[in-house]
Each structure stands twice: as structure tokens, then as C-alpha cells.
Amino acid sequence: MNVQDVRNSGRIEMRDARTLAYKAKDLIVTDPPYNIGYKYAGDFNDNQPSKDYAELFTPMRGHRVVMIHYAENIMADIVPVLGAPQRCAAWTYPSNAGSRNWRTIAWWNCEPEWSRVGVEYKNPHDKRVAKLIMQGKKRSCPDHWEFNLVKNVSREKVQGYTNQIPEVVISRILALTARKGDVIVDPFCGTGTTAKVAEVHGHQWRTYDINERAIELATNRIEGEKRQTLF
């Protein structure tokens, strides 16, 4: 087993999510394998029979979970395991075809506190809104988010892996949901976005992946974060 203490506040481990046990102070924030045939680094293909796929989520039952996924897969594969989520939001982004795509952000056994994140008003020319802006006010975070995907040329892009989630999406989830003392856990680490953002937000965290390449890239990424912070 490959265990790495990247910093005092976090731990990266190469491990199968099916074998994990969670604790009450864990807040699981994750972007799981999508089960639609994605290939990450190496031969691993995330397309699995539903029964095997369901096993990835079984240990999360009854725990606080925030998950980013396609709506169809949440309904078909995750709801049968975790039950109906308490809350959902839509994350939309421009697609290569020039339209927009979206994914669901779903909360189980926890809720976003929308008022914790203020966003700019979209209609500043409306008289009533203009007045609020003059008073320095913002509106509560809506349940419809617009953030671009991580592109190959993005500053945060980790080369050599796929499906990297934008830091801003995880950052917003943590800002809306995490409480003091929570340990942020991502059982599907990939390039380590959740861990990195949890670190920046000052949370304790743990993250796991079955793929050795993911562990390597995430470790380097979070160590890079440490260097940036120190110098």
C-alpha cells in the first residue's frame, strides 16, 4: 500500500474506494468515475456493471456526501444506493459544440447554506438591483452555476490525466457546505483537486485513488501548493 503524508493536514493513499469506512466528521466531496467508459491514465476503464459500480458508493450510506455527476447516472446508479439527495444544483459549462452542458451537484445528509456565498447581481440596470449594488450587497448563491471546464491550456491543468474538476467548483461546494472541524474526504482523488482546495481552505483532508498515476500526480500537485505557500 502506498501511503503518503503530503502535509500535516492531509493524507493521500492508493486504495480501492470499496474498502473505505467513513467517520462522522468526514464530509465526502467527490467527482466519481462516471461509468460511461472514460479512460484515466493506464488501462483502467470506468465502465462497470451497475452492481459493481454501486459498490463504490455503498460505504458512503448515511454519511455527508456532496457529489458531482451526470443527472442520469445519479438517478439510475446513485439514488438506489444513497437514497434521494437533500438538495441539487446545476453546474453548466460551454461545450465544444458551442452550446452548454451541465452536471448535477447533489447533497446527501447535508445542505448548502446559500447565504454563505454572495455572487454579483446579473441585472445591474434594474432600478431595485442598482440600489442594492450601491449598498454593496450581493445575492445569495443560486443553484445554477456557470464555470468553464479545465482546458489543456488552463493554469490549473495537471497534464497527463483526464476529467480534472475545476478548483472553483470544489471551492464553492466547500464554502457552502463545510463546517469547522470537518475532514474533507475524496475517495476518487484523480489529480487531487478536492485535496488541494481543502488545503487552501484550511481543512483537514484525506484522499484515495486506485490508480497509481493519479496518486503520483496529486502528490506532486499538493506539494507544489505547499511550495507556493511557503515561498
Ligand X SMILES: C[S@@+](CC[C@H](N)C(=O)[O-])C[C@H]1O[C@@H](n2cnc3c(N)ncnc32)[C@H](O)[C@@H]1O
Report if residue 22 touches ligand X, rule: CB under 6 A.
Answer: no
Judged on CB neighbours under 10 Å (0-12, 13-18, 19+), 80 is: exposed
Q: Is 163 in the site for ligand X (CB under 6 A)?
A: yes
First-to-last alpha carbon distance for the chain, in angstroms, is 32
Stretch that binds ligand X, among 29-37, 84-92, 106-114, 130-138 (CB under 6 A): 29-37
Residue 53 sits in the site that holds ligand X (CB under 6 A): no
Pick the piece of the chain touching ligand X (CB under 6 A) from 25-33, 80-88, 95-103, 137-145: 25-33
Range in contact with ligand X (rule: CB under 6 A) among 79-87, 116-124, 159-167, 171-179: 159-167
Q: Given candidates 3, 5, 18, 140, which one binds ligand X under the rule CB under 6 A?
A: 18
From 8, 17, 61, select the one nearest 214 (Cα to Cα): 17
The residue count for binding ligand X (CB under 6 A) is 23
Residue nearest to ligand X (CB): 190
Site for ligand X (CB under 6 A): which residue of 35, 73, 207, 211? 211
Residue 219 binding ligand X, by CB under 6 A: no
171 belongs to the binding site for ligand X (CB under 6 A) = no
Residue 80 pairs in a beta bridge with none
- Computed over its alpha carbons, how large is the radius of gyration of the chain? 18
Is residue 67 near ligand X by the rule CB under 6 A? no
Q: Is 207 in the site for ligand X (CB under 6 A)?
A: no
Contacts of 6 (CB under 8 A, 6+ apart): 12, 195, 219, 222, 223, 226
89 touches ligand X (CB under 6 A): no
Task: Give dist(CA 38, CA 224) in Å, integer.
Answer: 27
Distance of alpha carbon 118 from alpha carbon 142, whole angstroms: 9
Q: List alpha helices for 65-211, DSSP H.
A: 71-73, 79-82, 127-134, 167-177, 193-201
| Residue 75 DSSP label | I
Pick the stretch among 11-19, 70-78, 115-123, 220-228 that binds ligand X (CB under 6 A): 11-19
CB 196 within 8 A of CB 225: yes
Binding window for ligand X (CB under 6 A); candidates: 3-11, 38-46, 123-131, 173-181? 38-46
Least CB distance to ligand X at residue 73 (A): 12
Contact residues: ligand X, CB under 6 A: 16-18, 31-33, 40, 44, 46, 56, 163-165, 187-188, 190-191, 193, 208-211, 214
